[in-house]
Structure 1
Amino acid sequence: MATRFGGRFSPDMPRDQRRAPPGPMRHRLASRPKWVTIAASPFLLTAFFQAPLGMVTDLAAFGVIAAAMWMTREGLTAEAAYDARRVARRPAIPRKLFGGVLAGLGLGLGAAEPGAVAGASVIGVAGLALHWLAFGADPMRDKGMDNADSFQQNRAARMIEEGEAHLAEMQDAIARIGDRRLEARVAVFAATVEDLFDRVRENPGDLSAARRYMGVYLMGARDATSKFAALYPRTQDPGTRVDYETFLDDLEKDFSAQADKLLDGDRNDLEIEISVLRERLMREGVRPAPEPVDTDDTRTRMLRSEDARKFDELISSDRDAAKSRR
């Protein structure tokens, strides 16, 4: 059955919902693993025209290279998510490194021949080096977490993972309905929630203020979405749909207001830190530097005052001469 498209530029889409939700994070090199897998396809095509040992070796080489490219693609996705955030942990598993090792192993297997182990090893090392040149290294350091408490970071990371799981369940439930407009609406709500997640990532100390939103409210939104996804396909009731969209609107406003509140709190904390630092500097006798005085302007003012004094003397002398003539 055909489904009517209801994208963000459709006439029936409300104006306040036409902003595009963020797309999936994609690395600029995400297409390269596919081409490397295609380039390794001769191992698969020629395997069945060889002796049993050669066939097994070529099939293993193609399978290892395909697994290496899958691991590399996952590493690129993790790196894209790492680069997109101002505060992020390094990936727990260096997937690109493992992908490079597997790629070198696959090339070595494909070049392996009796009595040519040294040559196959050299080809494998060359494959590892080429993989590193083509895809780069994994992020090996945490970003933006130099002065943060590790305990607070771990708590915030666990809460964010639970919240993202609730969002994923909401999107899966709406996807079962098959309505693109509802899918886009839930995606916009998810983007608003991700803004709150970013605030907590940047400052894990805000977790206590956002805990209710990331836990109780998201669980309620997930449960309401699941019930709506189970009811609406059977009834097709417009009122039920309007109630659900209104519910999302109100919840989205609450999440957006909470994210702005956390941002204002961070700004107030910065202003307090600046004022405290200024007071300490003044207490220690450090005064702000006076504004520089333009010597040219000072000289000009002095010249002008000197001219004015001479002009007054000239006027007074003229008056005295006039009186004496009288």
Structure 2
Amino acid sequence: MTSWLGNDGNWIVAGLAAAVLVPVLSFGLGVPFLVSAIIAVPVFAGLVVLLAPRKLFEGMDVNALGRGRVAFARDLLNEATPSADRLRAVAGRIGDKDMTARVKHLADIASDVFARVEANPDSATTVRRFLSYYLPRAAEVAEGFAVIEAKRAPDQTQLGEVRSVLVKLEDAFVHYADSLADDELGSLDTDLRLIQASLKEDLRH
């Protein structure tokens, strides 16, 4: 039921809350059953909206950011989000503590990249390959590790190969995340050189 009203989670929680509210009002407070049911309806609807996940670029001035750039960034992030969710989910299924930490780190880096792209849609082109290629491949590899590890007699050589690829993917994740930070720094190096030159000149006097 993924839509602008969120995923199944908020509907389930809202439904449970409404289901609990009816007997509480009816049997606990003596409110007529029909009235209790009527009261539960807006409570349910309100919780569905309240608990719906925040939408990308919600609350931002899309016109100021540029509708075309926002649309491009939103499409990339929407396509990449399921892969990030898969990474975080599979981390809980991996028994190897070191690999669990690495996979969680990959998911954390992905979240950081998402936040940076949302804050600056122009940066989407910098991490386009990360979002469309490396992130989904990382989810596949991590899930593969979990499947191999769960065997009664895991192939240690195969596990080692998958582990090696995940380590390299972690390096790629860090590279792309840092490339966004470098973009944010902009002309800092040039500014620092100019400031140092100006200070050197002024402090002579």
Fold equivalence (TM over 0.5): yes
> Tell me, which stretches of 5 or more residues in structure 2 are unaligned?
1-15, 192-201
8 Å Cα contact 1:40-1:62 kept in structure 2? yes
Aligned to 1:179, what secondary structure does the other structure show?
Answer: coil
What's 1:60 paired with? 38
With 239-248 and 193-202 compared, the bigger mean Cα shift is at 239-248
8 Å Cα contact 1:189-1:248 kept in structure 2? no
After TM superposition, give the deviation of residue 236 of structure 1 in Å. 3.0
What's 1:263 paired with? 181
8 Å Cα contact 1:43-1:62 kept in structure 2? no
Higher helix share: 2
8 Å Cα contact 2:84-2:107 kept in structure 1? yes
1:1-326 equivalences in 2 (<5 Å)? 42-45=24-27, 54-72=32-50, 74=51, 78=54, 89-90=57-58, 141-142=59-60, 147-175=64-92, 177=93, 179=95, 181=97, 182-234=99-151, 235-269=153-187
- Name the CA distance, whole Å, in 1 between partners of 2:169 and 2:79: 18
- Name the CA distance, whole Å, in 2 between partners of 1:189 and 1:197: 12
- Name the CA distance, whole Å, in 1 between partners of 2:112 and 2:75: 17
After TM superposition, give the deviation of residue 160 of structure 1 in Å. 1.2
8 Å Cα contact 2:17-2:44 kept in structure 1? no
- Name the CA distance, whole Å, in 2 between partners of 1:180 and 1:232: 8
Q: Would you identify which runs of 4 or more consecutive aligned residues in structure 1 move more than 4 Å?
A: 34-41, 269-272
Over the aligned positions, Cα root-mean-square deviation in angstroms equals 3.7
Aligned to 2:60, what secondary structure does the other structure show?
Answer: coil
What's 1:124 paired with? none
8 Å Cα contact 2:69-2:122 kept in structure 1? yes
After TM superposition, give the deviation of residue 180 of structure 1 in Å. 7.3
Taking structure 1 as reference, are residues 55 and 267 closer, same or farther at Cα in structure 2, changes over 3 Å only?
closer
After TM superposition, give the deviation of residue 191 of structure 1 in Å. 0.7
8 Å Cα contact 1:173-1:225 kept in structure 2? yes
Identify which of structures 1 and 2 has the higher relative contact order when contacts are C-alpha pairs closer than 8 Å and 6+ apart.
Answer: 2
